[in-house]
Chain A
Amino acid sequence: MARKLKPKVAVWKFASCDGCQLSLLDCEDELLAVSQEIEIAHFPEASREVIKGPYDLSLVEGSITTPHDAERIHKIRRSSKSLITIGACATAGGIQALRNFKDVNEFVSIVYATPEYIDTLQKSTPISEHIKVDFELRGCPIDKMQLVEVISAFINGRKPNTPAHSTCIECKRRGTVCVMVAQGKMCMGPVTHAGCGALCPTYNRGCYGCFGPQETTNAGSLSSQLKRMGADDEEIVRTFRGFNAYAEPFRKESELHDKENH
């Protein structure tokens, strides 16, 4: 029986650190096996070869920050049957979305050596603000085993198994003692999407929100708790303005505490 054609997979980069696509190359034990099941048709970080679209699956890393990229993402969507965004930049605008909170007038007095060489948008935005996205994989960076799971789910035509509950649940499952309750450390675990395996609390520090907001986030409640622990508004703003600052629940919560908005 003839083997069915392998799905054509493309990897695309926008404003980002390269770390999420690197996760694919960091699958040292799985990479060669994965490459047996898919045809890597466009992955410039790893290969000179460029196979023309259309593609069965596009993995998109990075946020939209330039007029050129805002156009490019539409072309990619048109040539992709399925499109999955990987990482906090692509799903929430990334750390570079901190610019989104600055007063426009402050940017008027930006001093470059030669500012006219630069073409940049005022905001860093997630891919889903521009096109329809079929699935969003969270994390700064993504978890590589979740990436393998997403690719494998795609090949097999099923829904990826990437739980949307909070990081708190992951701590409980691991049996990690709560760093906020027992050690008085600020922790974003109660509002943060699972995926990392609650890494930070196992390393004696509070979660800092790499995976962005969980489903049905109660950010206000966390802010009240942080206040009880002695945090001022500035600290609360900084806490929510990290690698997923522009994700709606975090954005709204930080704006409530940001004096510049009042």
Chain B
Amino acid sequence: MTKKTIKVDYLARVEGEGGLYIKMKDDAVVDVKLKIFEPPRFFEGLLRGRDFKEAPDITARICGICPVAYQMSAVHAMENALGVSVDGPLRELRRLLYCGEWIESHTLHIYMLHAPDFLGYQSAIHMAKDHKGIVERGLKLKKAGNQIVSLLGGREIHPVNVRVGGFYKVFNKQEFEPLIESLKWAREAALETVRWAAQFPFPEFEQDYEFVALHHPEEYPFNEGRIVSNRGLDIDCSEYEDHFQETHVEHSNALHSGLKERGAYFVGPMARYSLNFDQLSPIAQEAALEAGLQKECRNPFKSIIIRSIEVLYACDEALRILQSYEKPERPYIEVEPAEGIGFSCTEAPRGILYHHYRLDEQGKILDAKIVPPTSQNQKTIEDDLWKFVPKHIHLSQEDLTWQCEQAIRNYDPCISCATHFLKLDIEHS
């Protein structure tokens, strides 16, 4: 009998602090733990007593990589609680801001965190020694996304321009013009990225996942839609907690999330793509099919191609929005505080991000519940490793460890996000 362990004390090229522990006995896996030791920050606790208008700025600080996602889920949940609906050009501007974040966040992952695995480099900086042009293309593409966020949002990280009801400031059509030029280049670069990523060597690893994503009949989902799955789930955001539950396991400072009836599920680009292929714009659909993908993809290693397709879509969608943009009459709709309960789910780069708030009559937050995408994927990541390791047991310890890390990076896990949600319920008696 031989015993073997794979241990990664500190996972690299993920956002936040986590480790991996796999135990094997006679080539069979007996334990897999994605360890999350990122210290908790108790956001749900510290939101209590804050004004509803502060939620977008405070929750943005949960994640420096996807602050827009937190701001979008927060404002939609508050508007839901207070009976306000934001549409027309303000709604379009919110989609535009999200396009910027998807481009920036996905490109960071594609070029700097994930591609080095496929090409055998420790980092994108190492990769740049042999593939300078490619890394430069990635950085410039990432910048095109950041340019949207920093113009419309004020800065790339923790933008300042988002408020409940709309924005603090809106721009003239002419002020957006510099973005159009850079996005036209970016759309081409994204297409090249799809072709580049499609040539990587992918292990055979088709899995039978339950995909969960937002679905909207007329558009690829950002801020609105029903929560659907490929196994018949079809619910409004307000029903989320009836169907999903979180459990606390010892080896993780992030709660594991599961479907009450069926357990682990999959959120993120591959779920979004597989549930919304028909909503992609023609250029993105064509690029996907040309890259050899079907309308559904079940190999998480290929998520790098899907992210590239979503970058292409986001560039295309941002251009559509900018070309038909008319400046809104007012930057925001006035929102008055009131007692209420609000729910929202939006599509963060890494998958659905759920916010739920309860407000008192002055608009003060009584309770908050936030479920980020990475905590929803934790169980699925571990399930992947249970299945992946036995198939690749012949590899050297070093190679197998690296491939296990890669299997985790398939999910672009954001551990900083996932860890801040340990329930902190303060009982006032």
- A98 interface neighbour in B46, B108, B163, Cβ under 8 Å: B46
Docked Cα-Cα span, A117 to B124, in Å, equals 36
CB contact under 8 A between A204 and B157, given known A47-B12, A120-B39, A238-B51: no
Contact A45 B14, beta carbon cutoff 8 Å? yes
Q: Which residues of A contact B10 (CB under 8 A)?
A: 44
Output the nearest chain A residue to B156 by Cβ-Cβ distance: A26
Docked Cα-Cα span, A98 to B48, in Å, equals 11
- Interface segment, B290-298, B342-350, B417-425? B417-425
- A18 interface neighbour in B143, B253, B416, Cβ under 8 Å: B416
> Interface residue count for A (Cβ, 8 Å)?
62
Query: Across chains A and B, which 3 residue pairs bring their CB atoms closest together, nearest first?
Result: A19-B64, A47-B123, A113-B248
Could you list which residues of chain A lie within 8 angstroms of chain B, going by C-beta atoms?
13-20, 22-23, 25-26, 28-29, 31-32, 35, 40, 43-50, 65-66, 68-69, 94-96, 98-99, 102, 106-107, 109-114, 117-118, 120, 124, 140-141, 144, 196, 199-200, 202-205, 208, 210, 238, 243
Q: Which residues of B contact A96 (CB under 8 A)?
A: 41-42, 46
Output the nearest chain A residue to B46 by Cβ-Cβ distance: A98
Nearest-Cβ distance from residue B389 to partner chain A, whole angstroms = 19
Nearest-Cβ distance from residue B272 to partner chain A, whole angstroms = 23
B139 at the interface (CB under 8 A from A): yes
B11 at the interface (CB under 8 A from A): yes
Nearest-Cβ distance from residue A129 to partner chain B, whole angstroms = 16
Q: Which residues of B contact A144 (CB under 8 A)?
A: 156
Output the nearest chain A residue to B405 by Cβ-Cβ distance: A48
Contact A117 B12, beta carbon cutoff 8 Å? no
Docked Cα-Cα span, A27 to B64, in Å, equals 14
CB contact under 8 A between A17 and B125, given known A95-B46, A199-B160: no
Nearest-Cβ distance from residue A96 to partner chain B, whole angstroms = 4
Contact B51 A44, beta carbon cutoff 8 Å? no
Could you list which residues of chain B lie within 8 angstroms of chain A, going by C-beta atoms?
10-17, 37-42, 45-46, 50-51, 54, 57-58, 61-65, 67, 108, 112-113, 116, 122-126, 128, 132, 135-136, 139-140, 142-143, 146, 154-158, 160-161, 163, 168-169, 247-250, 253, 255, 331, 402, 405, 414, 416, 422-427, 429
Docked Cα-Cα span, A69 to B427, in Å, equals 28
Number of A-B contacts (CB under 8 A): 177
Output the nearest chain B residue to A114 by Cβ-Cβ distance: B248
CB contact under 8 A between A203 and B139, given known A44-B10, A106-B426, A109-B429: no
20 A-B Cβ contacts within 8 A?
A: A18-B65, A18-B414, A22-B108, A29-B143, A44-B13, A46-B12, A46-B113, A48-B13, A48-B123, A48-B405, A95-B41, A95-B46, A99-B45, A112-B423, A117-B250, A141-B155, A199-B154, A200-B154, A203-B160, A208-B160
Nearest-Cβ distance from residue A11 to partner chain B, whole angstroms = 12
Docked Cα-Cα span, A208 to B162, in Å, equals 13
Contact B12 A18, beta carbon cutoff 8 Å? no
Contact A18 B64, beta carbon cutoff 8 Å? yes
Contact A111 B61, beta carbon cutoff 8 Å? no
Contact B67 A111, beta carbon cutoff 8 Å? no
- A111 interface neighbour in B112, B157, B423, Cβ under 8 Å: B423
Docked Cα-Cα span, A99 to B45, in Å, equals 8
Contact B248 A203, beta carbon cutoff 8 Å? no
Docked Cα-Cα span, A182 to B61, in Å, equals 30
Docked Cα-Cα span, A40 to B250, in Å, equals 34
Nearest-Cβ distance from residue B408 to partner chain A, whole angstroms = 12
Q: Which residues of B contact A49 (CB under 8 A)?
A: 122-123, 126
Contact A31 B139, beta carbon cutoff 8 Å? yes
- A44 interface neighbour in B12, B62, B125, Cβ under 8 Å: B12
Contact B40 A47, beta carbon cutoff 8 Å? no
Q: Which residues of A contact B123 (CB under 8 A)?
A: 40, 43, 46-49
Q: Which residues of A contact B154 (CB under 8 A)?
A: 199-200, 202-203
Q: Which residues of A contact B168 (CB under 8 A)?
A: 200, 203-205
Nearest-Cβ distance from residue A169 to partner chain B, whole angstroms = 19
CB contact under 8 A between A99 and B125, given known A28-B143, A203-B160: no
- B46 interface neighbour in A43, A48, A99, Cβ under 8 Å: A99
Output the nearest chain B residue to A112 by Cβ-Cβ distance: B423
Nearest-Cβ distance from residue B293 to partner chain A, whole angstroms = 28
Contact B125 A40, beta carbon cutoff 8 Å? yes
Docked Cα-Cα span, A96 to B143, in Å, equals 30
Contact A20 B139, beta carbon cutoff 8 Å? no
Docked Cα-Cα span, A19 to B61, in Å, equals 8
Q: Which residues of B contact A44 (CB under 8 A)?
A: 10-13
Docked Cα-Cα span, A205 to B160, in Å, equals 9
Docked Cα-Cα span, A103 to B112, in Å, equals 44
Contact B50 A203, beta carbon cutoff 8 Å? no
Q: Which residues of B contact A29 (CB under 8 A)?
A: 139, 143
CB contact under 8 A between A17 and B61, given known A46-B125, A110-B424, A203-B168: yes
Report which residue of B37, B63, B156 has the largest number of chain A beta carbons within 10 angstroms of its beta carbon: B156
